[in-house]
Chain A
Amino acid sequence: MALNISGAIEGSFQLIGGNFATAGEASTQLKLKLTNLGVHEDIIRRAAIATFEAEMNVIIYAAAGRLHYYITQQSIKIRVEDMGPGIEDISLAMQEGYSTAPEWVREMGWGAGMGLPNMKKNSDKFSIDSVVGEGTTVEMVINFS
Chain B
Amino acid sequence: MKLSELVEKLALDVKTFKDGLQIEIKGAYVSDLLSDVMANAGKCDIWITLQTHLNIVAVASMKGLAGIIIVGNRPVQEEVLKKAEEEKIAILTTPKPAFEVAGKIYQMLK
Tell me the A residues contacting B by CB distance below 8 Å. Answer: 20-21, 23-25, 27-28, 31, 45, 48-49, 52-53, 56, 108-110, 112, 114-115, 118, 121
Contact, CB under 8 Å: A108 / B62: no
Of A21, A48, A115, A118, which one neighbours B54 at CB under 8 angstroms?
A21
Contact A48 B35 (CB under 8 A): no
Residues of B40-81 contacting chain A, CB below 8 A? 49, 51, 53-55, 58-59, 61-63
Tell me if B5 is interfacial: C-beta within 8 Å of chain A. Answer: no
In the assembled complex, B1 has its CB within 8 A of some CB on chain A: no
- For B8-51 the 0/1 string (1 means CB < 8 A from A) is 00000000000000000000000111111011000000000101
Is B59's CB under 8 angstroms from A112's CB? no
CA of A20 to CA of B32 in the docked complex: distance in angstroms?
A: 17
How far apart are the CA atoms of A23 and B87 in the complex, in Å? 14
Q: Which residues of A contact B39 (CB under 8 A)?
A: 49, 114, 118, 121
Given the complex, which residues of A lie within 8 Å of B58, measured CB to CB? 23-25, 28, 52
Contact indicator A115/B53 (Cβ below 8 Å): no
Residues of B within 8 A of A112 (CB): 33-36
A24 and B35 in contact, given A108-B53, A108-B55, A109-B51 (Cβ under 8 angstroms): no
Are A24 and B62 in contact, with the CB atoms below 8 A?
yes
Q: Please judge, given known A-B contacts A108-B51, A108-B55, whether A31 and B62 are in contact too, CB under 8 Å.
A: yes
Q: A27-B62, A112-B33 are in contact. Are A20 and B55 (CB under 8 A)?
A: yes
Name the B residues within 8 Å of A110 (CB-CB). Answer: 33-35, 55
Q: How far is the CB of B100 from chain A (nearest CB, A)?
A: 21
Give every chain B residue within 8 A of A49 (Cβ-Cβ). 38-39, 62
Residue of B32, B62, B63 touching A109 (CB-CB under 8 A)? B32
Q: Check A24 against B59 for contact (C-beta < 8 Å).
A: yes
B63 to chain A, nearest CB (A): 8
